[in-house]
């Protein structure tokens, strides 16, 4: 009888001991778990970013070519008489929107690219995000939390806020900028292509705001 009781107590004691051990070491265990979680998350992000970058790199030349194709034949739509000398940050300030750190200054990024092309492309990408997010904000279609930029731009086009060729141009350029931001070294010719397309998009966005908010400028509208 005593032996059976001892066996039962033996079976019951290890869960109690184990629970007490976990309670006693709960802080270091929690810290270790947080570190492990961070390491796993970092590894997952690296893997995701790498796969996403690889996908963009596979068609990087095609992406640039497609973006330029979408802009073909539309250069004449942005002359001085239609948009005047107004710049994006002036527009953003008048509409009480988030301003761009560089005022989407392509010349500044071209000069920066001579020293650090990756940094220049990353800055350009952020300007692109800010500008499209501002378009979404004034159109009652703000970017949703955790919504990818490409999904956001696609939604703007679906709601007929921007046109299909604008969405394609923005998405293609953004994919190339993201590839560079994740460590891909672009060739000098590709960097210049990025700036050419970005210059076009900047004019297009200014024209969009001027068309939808005529009081921003006293220039005659076509």
- If asked whether residues 20 and 129 sit together in one domain, one would say no
The reply to whether 211 falls in a domain is yes
Question: Given this model, what pLDDT does residue 81 score?
Answer: 40
List pLDDT tens digits, range 53-75: 333 444 555 655 665 565 555 54
List pLDDT tens digits, range 197-221: 898 889 888 889 988 888 876 544 4
Question: Given this model, what pLDDT does residue 105 score?
Answer: 92
The reply to whether 13 falls in a domain is yes
- Give the number of residues written for the chain: 222
Residue 178 structural domain? 59-216
Most confident region among 9-18, 21-30, 42-51, 162-171 by mean pLDDT: 162-171
130 contacts 124 by C-beta, under 8 angstroms: no
Last residue of a domain, one of 37, 58, 79: 58
d(CA 125, CA 12) in angstroms, rounded, equals: 61
Q: Which two tokens stand for residue 46?
A: 């690296």
- If asked whether residues 69 and 32 sit together in one domain, one would say no
Q: Which two tokens stand for residue 130?
A: 């800010």
List pLDDT tens digits, range 74-102: 544 434 344 456 788 999 999 999 999 88
pLDDT at 11 over 90: no
The reply to whether 65 falls in a domain is yes
Last residue of a domain, one of 38, 58, 78: 58
102-105: Cβ within 8 A, 24+ apart: 102/127, 104/131, 104/198, 104/202
SS3 for 89-118 is HHHHHHCCCCCCCCCCCHHHHHHHHCCCHH
Question: Given this model, what pLDDT does residue 39 score?
Answer: 41
The reply to whether 221 falls in a domain is no
């Amino acid at each position: 009888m005593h032996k059976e009781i001892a066996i039962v107590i033996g079976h019951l004691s290890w869960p109690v001991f184990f629970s007490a051990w976990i309670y006693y070491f709960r802080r270091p265990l929690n810290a270790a778990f947080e570190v492990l979680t961070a390491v796993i998350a970092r590894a997952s992000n690296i893997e995701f970013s790498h796969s996403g970058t690889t996908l963009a790199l596979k068609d990087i030349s095609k992406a640039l070519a497609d973006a330029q194709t979408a802009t073909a034949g539309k250069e004449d739509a942005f002359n001085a008489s239609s948009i005047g000398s107004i710049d994006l940050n002036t527009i953003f300030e008048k509409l009480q929107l988030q301003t761009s750190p560089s005022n989407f200054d392509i010349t500044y990024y071209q000069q920066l690219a001579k020293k650090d092309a990756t940094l220049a492309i990353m800055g350009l990408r952020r300007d692109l995000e800010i500008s499209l997010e501002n378009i979404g904000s004034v159109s009652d279609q703000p970017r949703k939390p955790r919504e990818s930029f490409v999904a956001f731009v696609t939604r703007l086009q679906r709601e007929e806020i921007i046109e299909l060729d604008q969405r394609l141009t923005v998405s293609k350029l953004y994919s190339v900028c993201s590839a560079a931001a994740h460590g891909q070294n672009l060739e000098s010719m590709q960097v210049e292509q990025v700036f050419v397309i970005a210059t076009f998009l900047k004019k297009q966005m200014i024209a969009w705001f001027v068309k939808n908010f005529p009081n921003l400028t006293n220039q005659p509208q076509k």
